[in-house]
């Protein structure tokens, strides 16, 4: 497999440190709001990456952090008049629901920043001891960027300007140098009750140190892949390298840095601050599904900017309908035929499957992979119309669709997730049964059936299953 490494700016052969095993860290969401689909472009690219690695036979350990303490989460919780924990819990839950709706495979671990303060403190102590950090008058700790030899290499920065001992604007007077960044922020009024004790006084961690502490703890001092959107390259990932290597002395902290391009709207990055964003919830309200959104997000190469439009969502829908129709035709022809070895597949199945795999192994070239998929659809439809497809060949073609979908995750409609109303009805039915009100329980079961849900009673209680047509 080949991947583009931001560090070298080259496409490189992928070789993990440990044979067969990939350790990968993904910068996760700041849980102060619903993530927008620009954020999900990054999580989608990471999902495609892990799926392709797994399809190539690697075991993957992916760690995605949840940033549940920073300026935005603190501001939000104070405005809402609830604790930081209660405030972020809501958005953590919404985030996991959204991942499911997009059919994004769960990471192996989702560590939260607030559960790793001691690890961050240890790291900062190491940086202080090594001379990479200093304490300012107010008790904040800063990283002394000029002490780290390789600073700027990831972002390919010319550090001449930053290395100058320039005194900067009023609010940065605590820093020795403009490029220095906070590892620990001394408590101030705006932090309210959000505060931890440290050897340097009360305060809270800076954002960058979170990712160094959590990645080292869960993946080790040196690991294979670190991902994010291109806006993470500088300063976040540059700072992570300086912190991690500065504290451990272990180089390289990360072997392959991978970053996705922006989801843009009319040429501007989709972002909360510009207000040009859509959440998944907005799109569901307009009648689109997670599957439509997922298709749009993987239709462009991950390093290219992707322009979001509703026309693209409509296009996704018709493209997927074509695949569904093709699968239906294949299923009719295949009947109960078993899937025999790949050798039994006709050329119109083997060639696109090979092209698909080659495209994905070439730095996750999803547009070419989708072209291979639609070559299969077009050639298969032609063969079906000519009546020249045996049951075994149709079964082989269905298997090819499943193989492609292990990576794309978009061809098979994912199982629907019960909405709040269905869950409320299920709960009401359980209560009716507990009260031995069988008529009411039956009425609710029928109401659920009418809205597409079957109730299955089992040892762990009642569950909802989508009704099969």
Which residues contact Zn ion (rule: CB under 5 A)? Answer: 27, 211
Tokens of 72: 């935005």
Residue from 134, 262, 302, 348 touching ligand AMP (CB under 6 A): that is 262
Taking the complex as a whole, the smallest distance from the CB of residue 270 to ligand AMP amounts, in Å, to 4
Q: Does 269 bind ligand AMP (CB under 6 A)?
A: yes
Beta-bridged to residue 78, according to DSSP, are: none
For the bound state, the minimum distance from the C-beta of residue 301 to Zn ion, rounded and expressed in Å, comes to 23
234 touches 151 (CB < 8 A)? no
User: Could you tell me the smallest distance in angstroms from the CB atom of residue 461 to ligand AMP?
Assistant: 36
Tokens of 453: 């849900």
Please say whether the beta carbons of 140 and 180 come within 8 A. no
CB of 238 to Zn ion, least distance (A): 11
Helices (H), 340-437: 347-361, 366-385, 391-408, 420-434
Closest by Cα among 440, 447, 445 to 456: 445
Distance CA 219, CA 222 (A): 8
Using CB under 6 A as the binding criterion, the count of chain residues that bind ligand AMP stands at: 17
Nearest to 396 by CA among 380, 415, 378: 380
Strand partners, 24: 62, 225
Give the nearer residue to Zn ion in terms of CB position, either 107 or 211: 211
Residue nearest to ligand AMP (CB): 229
Residue 211 near which of ligand AMP, Zn ion, none (CB within 5-8 Å, type-dependent): Zn ion
Q: Which of 27, 213, 242, 373 binds ligand AMP (CB under 6 A)?
A: 27
Residue 263 interacts with ligand AMP (CB under 6 A): yes or no? yes
Closer to Zn ion at the Cβ: 77 or 212?
Answer: 212
Q: Which residues of 285-304 are buried (b: 16+ CB within 10 A; e: fewer)?
A: eeebbbbbbbbbbbbbbbbe
Nearer to ligand AMP, 28 or 152 (CB): 28
Task: Tell whether omega for the bond before 235 is within 30 degrees of 0, i.e. cis.
Answer: yes
**331's tokens:** 């299923």
Stretch that binds ligand AMP, among 110-118, 262-270, 280-288, 458-466 (CB under 6 A): 262-270
* Per-residue DSSP letter, 105: P
| Candidate segments 26-34, 180-188, 292-300, 375-383, binder of ligand AMP by CB under 6 A | 26-34
Single residue of 16, 179, 228, 246 touching ligand AMP by CB under 6 A: 228
Smallest separation, CB 208 to ligand AMP (Å): 12
Question: DSSP readout, 311-324?
Answer: HHHHHHHHHHHHHH
Q: Locate tokens 């927008």: which residue?
A: 36
| Among the listed residues 6, 14, 16, 30, the single contact to ligand AMP using CB under 6 A | 30
Among Zn ion, ligand AMP, none, partner that 269 touches (CB below 5 to 8 angstroms by kind): ligand AMP
d(CA 195, CA 187): 7
Q: Is 41 in the site for ligand AMP (CB under 6 A)?
A: yes
CB of 313 to Zn ion, least distance (A): 29
Interacting residue with ligand AMP among 76, 179, 229, 380 (CB under 6 A): 229
Distance of CA 339 to the CA centre of its chain: 33
Find the part of the chain contacting ligand AMP (CB under 6 A) among 38-46, 295-303, 364-372, 439-447: 38-46
Residue keyed to tokens 């209660």: 86
- Name the one range near ligand AMP by CB under 6 A: 12-20, 239-247, 255-263, 332-340: 255-263
CA nearest neighbour of 257 among 276, 275, 233:
233
Q: Please, are residues 79 and 319 in contact by the beta-carbon 8 Å criterion?
A: no
Of 391, 388, 418, 328, nearest to 100 by C-alpha is 418
Select from 39-47, 159-167, 360-368, 377-385 the region that touches ligand AMP (CB under 6 A).
39-47
Q: What angle do CA 380, 51, 303 make, to 5 degrees?
A: 90
The answer to whether the CB of 63 falls within 8 A of the CB of 219 is yes
Residue in this structure with the two tokens 């359980």, named with its chain if needed:
430
| Residue 232 beta carbon to ligand AMP: minimum distance, rounded to whole angstroms | 5
* Comparison of 90 and 433: residue with beta carbon closer to ligand AMP: 90
Report the nearest approach of ligand AMP to the CB of residue 210 (Å). 11
30 binding partner (options ligand AMP, Zn ion, none; Cβ < 5 to 8 Å by kind) = ligand AMP
**Which residue among 3, 22, 24, 42 contacts ligand AMP (CB under 6 A)?**
42
Give residues in contact with ligand AMP (CB under 6 A).
27, 29-30, 38-39, 41-42, 228-229, 231-232, 260, 262-263, 269-271
């Amino acid at each position: 497999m080949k991947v583009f490494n931001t560090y070298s700016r080259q496409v490189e052969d992928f070789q993990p440190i440990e044979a067969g095993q990939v350790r990968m860290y993904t910068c996760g969401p700041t849980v102060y709001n619903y993530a927008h689909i620009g954020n999900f472009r990054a999580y989608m690219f990471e999902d495609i990456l892990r799926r392709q690695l797994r399809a190539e036979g690697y075991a993957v350990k992916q760690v995605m952090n949840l940033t549940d303490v920073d300026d935005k989460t603190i501001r939000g919780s104070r405005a809402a008049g609830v604790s930081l924990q209660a405030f972020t819990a809501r958005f953590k839950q919404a985030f996991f629901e959204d991942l499911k709706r997009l059919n994004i495979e769960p990471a192996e671990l989702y560590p939260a920043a607030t559960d790793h303060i001691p690890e961050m403190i240890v790291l900062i102590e190491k940086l202080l001891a090594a001379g990479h950090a200093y304490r300012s008058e107010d008790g904040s700790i800063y990283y002394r960027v000029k002490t780290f030899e390789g600073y700027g290499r990831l972002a390919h920065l010319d550090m001449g300007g930053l290395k100058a001992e320039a005194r900067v604007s009023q609010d940065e007077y605590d820093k020795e140098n403009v490029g220095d960044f906070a590892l620990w922020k001394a408590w101030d009024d705006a932090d309210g009750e959000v505060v931890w004790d440290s050897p340097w006084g009360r305060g809270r961690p800076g954002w960058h140190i979170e990712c160094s502490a959590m990645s080292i703890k869960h993946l080790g001092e040196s690991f294979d892949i670190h991902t994010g959107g291109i806006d993470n390259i500088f300063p976040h990932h540059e700072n992570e390298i300086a912190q991690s290597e500065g504290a451990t002395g272990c180089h390289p902290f990360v072997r392959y840095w991978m970053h996705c391009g922006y989801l843009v709207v009319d040429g501007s990055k989709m972002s909360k601050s510009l207000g040009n964003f859509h959440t998944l919830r907005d799109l569901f309200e307009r009648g689109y599904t997670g599957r439509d959104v997922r298709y749009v997000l993987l239709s462009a190469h991950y390093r290219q900017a992707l322009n979001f439009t509703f026309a693209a969502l409509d296009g996704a829908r018709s493209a997927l309908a074509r695949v569904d129709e093709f699968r239906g035709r294949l299923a009719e022809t295949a009947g109960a035929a078993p899937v025999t070895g790949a050798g039994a597949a006709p050329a119109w199945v083997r060639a696109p499957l090979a092209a698909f795999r080659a495209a994905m192994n070439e730095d996750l070239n999803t547009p070419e992979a989708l072209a291979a998929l639609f070559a299969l659809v077009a050639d298969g439809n032609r063969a079906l119309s000519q009546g020249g497809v045996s049951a075994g060949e149709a079964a082989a073609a269905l298997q090819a669709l499943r193989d492609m979908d292990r990576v794309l995750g978009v061809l098979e409609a994912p199982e629907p997730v019960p909405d709040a109303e269905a869950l409320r009805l299920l709960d009401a039915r359980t209560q009716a049964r507990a009260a031995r009100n069988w008529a009411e329980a039956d009425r609710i079961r029928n109401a659920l059936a009418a809205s597409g849900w079957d109730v299955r009673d089992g040892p762990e209680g009642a569950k909802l299953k989508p009704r099969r047509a």
